[in-house]
């Protein structure tokens, strides 16, 4: 079974958001960063409190607001970095041909062709818009479901992929 997908910057951004939610080490680091920033802002304002004779409640309020703004800026900067990827980032963005068979998964782009046997696939997951075939814990083939003619076809592809993967892992 073969599907042609066109990966754009938004698809790549959605994969990164998915990864932060689903991959424990990324989720932990993201949460730590989101917590650490307001704490650092608070500590900074505690020092400024001495210089500017600010009351503690004012320091607390400014720190909370500053921490929230800092967290939002962090998210914006992450998205900005991903959206700066050139549309024709060869091998990452653009057209990918994904082919699954009993032997494994083959991906072809304008710059490379790769093949992984099912035993080398880390996992397979999906959300409402994408199918992800993980080659390791943080690298995946991104397959937008919009690439299929229908959701029935997308579900068939997903189910067949999971079937091949489970069978391929049991063979070894």
Series of mean pLDDT values for 10-residue runs along the chain (172 residues): 92 92 87 84 77 76 82 87 72 91 94 93 95 92 96 96 91 61
| pTM, rounded to two decimals | 0.80
Alpha carbon distance 103, 21 (integer Å): 31
Contacts 24+ apart (CB under 8 A), 123-130: 124/158, 124/161, 124/162, 124/165, 125/22, 126/158, 127/18, 129/14, 130/11, 130/14, 130/15, 130/18
pLDDT digits (tens, 9 = 90+) for 6-42: 999 899 999 999 998 888 888 898 888 888 888 887 7
Is the CB of residue 134 less than 8 Å from the CB of residue 124? yes
């Amino acid at each position: 079974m073969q599907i042609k997908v066109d990966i754009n910057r938004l698809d790549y951004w959605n994969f990164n958001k998915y990864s932060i939610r689903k991959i424990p080490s990324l989720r932990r680091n993201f949460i730590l960063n989101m917590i650490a920033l307001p704490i650092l802002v608070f500590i900074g304002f505690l020092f400024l409190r001495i210089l500017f004779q600010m009351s503690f409640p004012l320091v607390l309020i400014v720190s909370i607001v500053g921490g929230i703004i800092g967290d939002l800026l962090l998210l914006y900067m992450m998205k900005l970095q991903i959206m700066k990827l050139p549309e024709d980032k060869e091998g990452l963005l653009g057209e990918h041909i994904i082919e699954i068979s009993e032997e494994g998964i083959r991906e072809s782009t304008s710059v490379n062709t790769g093949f992984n046997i099912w035993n080398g696939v880390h996992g397979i997951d999906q959300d409402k818009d994408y199918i992800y075939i993980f080659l390791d814990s943080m690298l995946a083939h991104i397959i937008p479901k919009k690439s299929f003619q229908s959701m029935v076809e997308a579900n068939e592809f997903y189910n067949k992929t999971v079937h091949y993967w489970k069978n391929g892992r049991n063979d070894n």
